[in-house]
Amino acid sequence: MADASPDIAPPDAIARAIADTCVDKAALPAGRMLALGALAGAYIGFGSLVAVLIGAGADALPYGLAQIAAGLGFALGLILVLLAGAELFTGNTLMTVPLAQRRLGPTQLLRAWGLVWCANLAGALLLALLAIGAGLHLAGDGAFAASAVEIAAEKTSKPAARIVASGILANLLVCLAVWMAAGAKSAVDKVAVIVPPVAAFVALGLEHSIANMSLLPLGLLAQAATGADLPTGLSWSAAGMNLLWSTLGNIIGGGGLGLAYWAIHLRGRA
């Protein structure tokens, strides 16, 4: 095993910590789980707002640089979730670790995933509504709204298989950020390991279901508020299908990562 940095726990210790944390998360009372889930949806939504804002000025930047800038801005969302404390569905796909250890049953797993997913959606929708109510769609003479609509239209234009594959890649990166943050020993260290993978998945245009819970409604609401023409393929039903397929991809990506680390570090151990 490679020597670990003194600023981060060794990989096997991170695996044990993740397993313990996931067991505790699955045992939360429903009311607390829902409240923390709603906060996480809103926190990720704040990252979405910043990413849309940066995207509004993307034409002034070279391709690639603009996407990286948006990714850096979006990282705010996961930083808030992990440092302030909230329940994020995509991070909780790592509950496959204690599931494989038989410390968590399938019913407990599905309960936690279902409650948190719904709560994330509620928090994200509320934030999108507040953003429109605050007039953010009017910023930059409508440039913010145009950016939001463009992002939403691009996401709903993808076929199902592409969304699933993209969702797998997105949550591999998000869960790697969660995994490394669990081993980091200070707030500064946690931020340092969160930002690069999150910025990468956004810059690459990958599909993160909880981010899409704010990005898609924000685009649809901004379009309705401004009266702009609705892009082909952008609709509430198309947004729902995107969430379905991106959620499936996120489960495969994050859950698969958890199982891989369980097999490497925890399988056969008490």
- Domain for residue 2, yes or no? no
Instruction: Work out the pLDDT band at 6, boundaries 50, 70, 90.
Output: low
pLDDT tens per residue, range 182-223: 999 899 999 999 999 999 999 999 999 999 999 999 999 999
pLDDT of residue 5: 54
Q: What is the mean pLDDT of the chain?
A: 94
Q: Is residue 29 part of a domain?
A: yes
- Domain assignment present for 75: yes
The answer to whether position 4 is within a domain reads no
> Would residue 91 count as lying in a domain?
yes
SS3 label, residue 99: helix
Q: 36: domain CATH number?
A: 1.20.1080.10
* 1 in any annotated domain: no
Structural domain span for residue 114: 11-266
189 lies in some domain? yes
Alpha-carbon distance values, 12 to 19, 130, 211, 250, 253 (Å): 11, 42, 30, 23, 20
* pTM for this model (two decimals): 0.93
**Has residue 2 got a pLDDT over 50?**
no
Q: Tell me: pLDDT of 53 over 50.
A: yes
- Domain assignment present for 185: yes
Q: Residues near 133 by Cβ (< 8 Å), separated by ≥ 6?
A: none
Note whether 26 and 104 are within 8 A (CB): yes
Q: How far apart are CA 231 and CA 203, in angstroms?
A: 22
Distance CA 230, CA 237 (A): 14
**For the chain, what is the domain count?**
1
The residue ranking higher by pLDDT, 205 or 58, is 205
18: helix, coil or strand?
helix
- Residue pLDDT, tens place only, 136-185: 999 988 899 999 999 999 999 999 999 999 999 999 999 999 999 999 98
